[in-house]
Amino acid sequence: MSATKVRRLGTDSPPSRASKLLQNRWAGLAGLLVALLAPFVDATPYALSVMTSAAIAVMLAAGLNIVVGYCGLLDLGYVAFFAVGAYTSGVLATRLELPLLATVPAVIVVTVVAGIVIGAPTLRLRSDYLAIVTLGFGEIIRITANNLDVTGGPSGIYGIPHLVEGPVAFYYLTVVVVSLAVLGAARLGRSRLGRAWRFVREDEDAAEAMGVHTYRVKLAAYVAGAVWGGLAGVLFAAHLSAISPGSFTFLSSALVLMAVVLGGMGSTPGVVVGAVVISVLPEILRDLADYRFFLFGVLLIAFMLLRPQGLWPARSKEVP
């Protein structure tokens, strides 16, 4: 089992070779190939489950990267959107007996609304206030899910239907969806909007002076992040077929943030690697279970002090 993981991580080459690989699409295709071949190496239910979770984590990291990496807004309650997506599809699928796929449009609408509701009042605030407020929102969503009847209270929702039959098929579906999500996020990052996000991150006043409506641009980042998180929530609900408030604590938000920071804020290959590391490492280091979150905390500090650009940094030089 662990051998598989090590090999998977190994193929995500070290940063020294990264810049060369980045100049073409091979890095992305290689990553996809690894993900597609992984079940041939080990297809035990446990391994598949871990790999599916890792893929979902990649999608979350890609979404949070839009907010934190591109736009420079620290969101400490990102898992709120994950929860909104999972609960929306879970509630609709179980109460109205809809197929899970049919809930996706509703999930998109609800997460967009959630992104606006959370973002609109808070995005005018200073960046550090925003961090705490998003954390507060994350807790509000979780506590609300815990207290309401429609969400099943503390025990949550059971018997959520699958998207496709069988864990292997679901794994491949997840890989396809997540790949598209990662590609989409990367393409947004290279567009007019994506540049505007980076201008806001670098200097809000200068961005305004160049005609960037900073508030709207930030809201767009927030909404995009919300949709990515919400759709990942649908995959999550389908994967586990049961969801409860316990899956959406601050800890989960912090882990996604960890993945983004570890991999490299603003770097697509970086956050993919970061998310895989964060979700697979604890499986390898089972013996250290007591210390792993402590280690994550220390790593977070160490990275900010010693390597703020992450394992696989966003390129600082443009390729002509």
Three-state SS for the chain is CHHHHHHHHHHCCCHHHHHHHHCCCHHHHHHHHHHHHHHHHCCCHHHHHHHHHHHHHHHHHHHHHHHHHHCCCCCCCCHHHHHHHHHHHHHHHHHCCCCHHHHHHHHHHHHHHHHHHHHHHHCCCCHHHHHHHHHHHHHHHHHHHHHCCCCCHHHCECCCCCCCCCHHHHHHHHHHHHHHHHHHHHHHHCCHHHHHHHHHHHCHHHHHHCCCCHHHHHHHHHHHHHHHHHHHHHHHHHHHCCECHHHHCHHHHHHHHHHHHHHCCCCHHHHHHHHHHHHHHHHHCHHHHHHHHHHHHHHHHHHHHHCCCCCCCCCCCCCC
CB-wise, 44 or 203, nearer to other proteins?
203
In the region spanning residues 159 to 188, those forming contacts with other proteins, defined by CB under 8 A, are: 184, 187-188
CB-wise, 17 or 187, nearer to other proteins?
187
CB-wise, 166 or 297, nearer to other proteins?
297
Instruction: Go through the chain and tell me how many residues it has.
Output: 320
In the region spanning residues 64 to 83, those forming contacts with other proteins, defined by CB under 8 A, are: 68, 72, 74, 76
Total binding residues toward other proteins, as defined by CB under 8 A? 75
Whole-number minimum distance, CB 197 to other proteins, in Å?
A: 11
Among 14, 40, 45, 319, binds other proteins (CB under 8 A): 319
Q: Is 293 in the site for other proteins (CB under 8 A)?
A: yes
Span interacting with other proteins, options 9-17, 79-87, 142-150, 269-277, rule CB under 8 A: 142-150
Span interacting with other proteins, options 14-22, 30-38, 86-94, 298-306, rule CB under 8 A: 298-306
Among 104, 196, 280, 311, binds other proteins (CB under 8 A): 196
In a 13 Å sphere around the CA of 267, the CA atoms on its Cβ side amount to 29
Span interacting with other proteins, options 39-47, 50-58, 168-176, 304-312, rule CB under 8 A: 304-312
**Contact code string over 113-132 relative to other proteins, x by CB under 8 A:** --------xxxxxxxxx-xx
CB-wise, 31 or 245, nearer to other proteins?
245
In the region spanning residues 200 to 239, those forming contacts with other proteins, defined by CB under 8 A, are: 202-215
Q: Is 320 in the site for other proteins (CB under 8 A)?
A: yes
Q: 284 is written with which tokens? A: 């390898």
Check if the beta carbon of residue 249 is closer than 8 Å to that of residue 287. no
Whole-number minimum distance, CB 183 to other proteins, in Å?
A: 9
CB-wise, 41 or 299, nearer to other proteins?
299
CB-wise, 165 or 306, nearer to other proteins?
306
Amino acid identity, position 319: V
Q: How far apart are CA 254 and CA 9, in angstroms?
A: 22
Q: Is 1 in the site for other proteins (CB under 8 A)?
A: no
Other CB atoms closer than 10 Å to residue 149's CB: what's the count? 6
Q: Is 158 in the site for other proteins (CB under 8 A)?
A: no
Q: Is 55 in the site for other proteins (CB under 8 A)?
A: no
Whole-number minimum distance, CB 258 to other proteins, in Å?
A: 8
**Contact code string over 238-277 relative to other proteins, x by CB under 8 A:** ------------x---x--x---x---x------------
Q: 196 is written with which tokens? A: 């505007």
